Amino acid sequence: MTAWNAGATGAGITVGVIDSGVQQDQPDLAGRISPLSIDIVSGRNAPNGTDNHGTFVAGVLAAGFNGFGTVGVAYNSTVLSIRSDISDCTDPTDTVCFASTDLARSIDYAVANGARVINLSIGGDGRLGTSFENALLRAINAGAVFAISSGNSTAADPEYPGRYASDARFAGAIIVVGAHDNANQIASFSNRAGVSAANFISAPGVDIISRCNGTSCFRGSGTSFSSPAVAGALALLLDAFPNLTGRQAVSLLLATARDAGDAGTDAVYGKGLLDIARAFAPVGTTSSPSASGGQVQVATQPGSFIGKAFGDAMVGQTALATISYDSYNRLFRTDLGGVYPSAPRVSRQPGTPVSLQSSAVQIATPSGATLSLTTSAPLPEPEPVVDRATPFTAPWLGAEPPREARLNIVAGRYGFSAWQGQGGTRSPFRSGSGDGFTALANADHAMRGAVDLGAFTLTGETGGGDRTALLRPVERDASSYARVAVSWRGREGSVNLSLGNLDERLGPLGAYLPSRSGLALPSHTRFGTLGGEFALWKDASLSGEFGLGRTALNGRLLSLESDALSSTWRTALNTGCPGWLPGCLGLTWEVSQPVRIESGTFAAELADVPLAYLDPVTFSIRRFSAAPSGREINYAVRSQHALPDGSVMSLEAVAIQQEQHRRGAPLGFAVLGTWRRIL
């Protein structure tokens, strides 16, 4: 049970059981009965009683964890038994009945002797009078709360005193409790929520086991036995969260009840079924205290993730253990590593081709410059069998159709290009070294200028893009990059040197951590890359690239003590095809490592987990490595084949070692094939 696993047993909480008395020598209640238990009826002095109803109720609430029988919901709580039944019942079918004046004195006695929760497994047709109502109000004003059974007459509304839950004078301090069976269906005998729906929940009340003595137990059904389950849940909450008031505990059980019947609050189940596990989970906005005195929301945002370059660095450590508070100001132990989700796995499926219709205009100026403008838009086509992209394979894409436009100006040695795209179209400038870093910007617009110096070419480029994810608003201009490069090309090959910057408002190296979130990690990365391609022999060439990056970031909770160093590299051998491969146009053998953090230390000044719930909050600086546990290496073989009908088939086999830079990750692999015909 969630509450017990959290250490909540009801210890230190006194629950008043106003009923027919409790057998003091009941084995399953040994050590649970308060010595202040009493018979409230004047002159009788028989707290044990002659009816077993009160003993059964107390067993549901507090039967001990003793190796036999059943276990009470709050098995370490203290039962303050107040016997208040009388024998001169007006209805001959009743064996136990109560006078409202005795009940009023019982409530006063319970509060005077420390009861924070009071259970009333009683019910009748009418109001209980001014004396009872005044006692009820005094108890509530003193901070006590009530669990009261709804009754067993199958009525549309609860009986009294349970119906007082819907009286404005007592609202928020009383839960009226119906009964449901093992199938979570309202019991046939149980009164329904009716007019008290906003303060009504249902708890198990059919075939309940209690009154165990070591060799035998008794079975019973009724809302009398569902009510103490709720009283026990209130005791668990007050034990686990000492800062809670009784009214807050009532509110929690109502707010976290599991919906049943008609959606929302309804006239049968009210708020729903008692769900102690949900009541022990954070409710509403969860925030963690910061050393500066503020609060930072720590809930995981839909679609968010840390950059793939960090691999499992966030989840593979314990340094981010801290505390957080929910909307009830309850303290919880929180591992912030769990709220920085890992990047989604890369989809290893071929993309669905999109047919674009292009229009081009070219203008030659008198000065010799050439200006060209090209626009592309999708042709009408049937719905694809496989989605072009999903929020997990491409979280920066919305539902826009692919479109793009490109402007080129060439004047002698000088050139200028501007590009705008949407719907997953790729930047035409992704060529040359540095693409491993600039691709992380997921650019949807870019500009490039170039100067041709013969064997050398100088280029300058800048671009950026918006980002969006499932259930999240679009983040405008979320990332941008700029790079300059010098390229040399000779008869035997080429060399390209690139230097650049990458700014990411949503997190480093491809992360998606919404900027409005307290977990956002705006970052700045400087990178340099060197790449080249050289001819080896006829129909064979070797190409490669190596890049280093330095990333700085400073989030509200998390920062880097010093810049994190990252690396990426790729080498490929392009060869001709052996004769036994039909129609083969060329083979590429490639080994690569995607961007990976090599070194760096995260630091965070976080609240320490206190030894005791109400201890003062202290802070300490935590440090852990930003580098992941493994290193992803991709091995790929690609080939292209000309088919007799003029179409082309591309084949690719990929093996992924330590995927997402996780040591021990199983070997991944994929075999892909695409076919296309150029019309």
For every residue of 519-577, DSSP letters joined together read T---EEEEEEEEEEEEEEETTEEEEEEEEEEEEEEB-SS-EESSPEEEEEEEEEEEE--
Point out the residues that are catalytic: 19, 53, 224
Residue written as tokens 């893009």?
A: 465
Q: How far apart are the first and last CA of the chain?
A: 65
Helices (DSSP H) in 424-505: which residue ranges? 435-438
Separation CA 39–CA 34 (nearest Å): 13
Tokens of 240: 């686990």
339, β-bridge pairs = none
44: left (phi over 0), alpha (psi -120 to 50) or beta: alpha
Within 13 Å, how many C-alpha atoms sit on residue 15's CB side? 40
The pairing of strands 456-467 and 475-490 is antiparallel
> DSSP alpha helices (H): ranges in 556-670?
none
What does the block give as tokens for 450? 């170039």
Q: Which of 160, 163, 166, 119 is nearest to 139 (CA)?
A: 119
Q: What is the dihedral of CA 19, 24, 26, 29, to 10 degrees?
A: 80
CA atoms within 13 A on the CB side of 22: 34
Q: What is the DSSP string of 367-379?
A: TS-EEEEEEEEEP
75 torsion bin: left (phi>0), alpha (psi -120 to 50), beta (else): alpha
CA angle in degrees (0–180, nearest 5) for 296-298-303 = 130
Answer whether 373's CB lies under 8 Å from 407's CB.
Answer: yes
